[in-house]
Amino acid sequence: MTKNFVGNLEIREIEIHDASAVSNIIKILSDETENFPFSSEDYGVDIKRQELFIDHLSKKENCILLGAFDKTSLCGLIYLEGGTKDRTYHCCNLGMGVLKKYWGQSIGTMLIKRTLDYAYNTECIAKIDIQVNSCNERAIGLYKKFGFQVEGKNKRALFINGEFYDYLLMGKIID
């Protein structure tokens, strides 16, 4: 297990015993902004399925799930999930969220930095992809800061509160 402390914040790999905290934060994140592609009502992942997902990520070298903990409370998370086939094993999808009350404290920056460190030190990862709501300027700026580039747009990919939103498709090559 990799741990790292920044001030009072601990960044570490999520473990199976964190499944309840992961489910709870995802439900909160999905409702407090319109940056997630689902609401808490749509989420529908019980603790057992969350444990299986955590276990799945922990067993593959092209995957990682990290959490940012303020004392004992999970306040942010990030994951890379790599492909399962030989031809896509090198390519990972990234997902990330930080609770709104923790915005502006560089937690997203710390999570991405740790995730990219992992990707660069794992010889099997060559590409990271992310889909981001085109209105989420804060996230887009953060990803660009770390060298992600806009590679395309998925128009009208989201329908939230009666309005359509586009996804920006962003990617980063890992050399």
Q: Return averaged pLDDT per consecutive 10 residues of the chain, 175 residues in all.
A: 64 96 93 86 87 94 96 93 96 97 94 97 96 95 98 95 95 96
Query: What does the alpha-carbon distance between residue 25 and residue 106 come to, in Å, rounded to a whole number?
Result: 18
Query: What does the alpha-carbon distance between residue 167 and residue 28 come to, in Å, rounded to a whole number?
Result: 21
Question: What is the average pLDDT value for the chain, to the nearest integer?
Answer: 93
Backbone angle region of 156, left / alpha / beta, with phi > 0 → left and psi within -120 to 50 → alpha? left
DSSP alpha helix (H) spans, the chain: 19-32, 40-43, 47-58, 107-121, 137-145
- Residue type at 4? N
Please tell me the CATH superfamily of domain 3-173, with its number.
Answer: Gcn5-related N-acetyltransferase (GNAT) (3.40.630.30)
Percent of the chain's residues with pLDDT above 70:
96
Query: What ranges do the domains of the chain cover?
Result: 3-173
pTM score, whole prediction: 0.91
Q: pLDDT digit string (tens) for 105-153?
A: 999 999 999 999 999 999 999 999 999 999 999 999 999 999 999 999 9
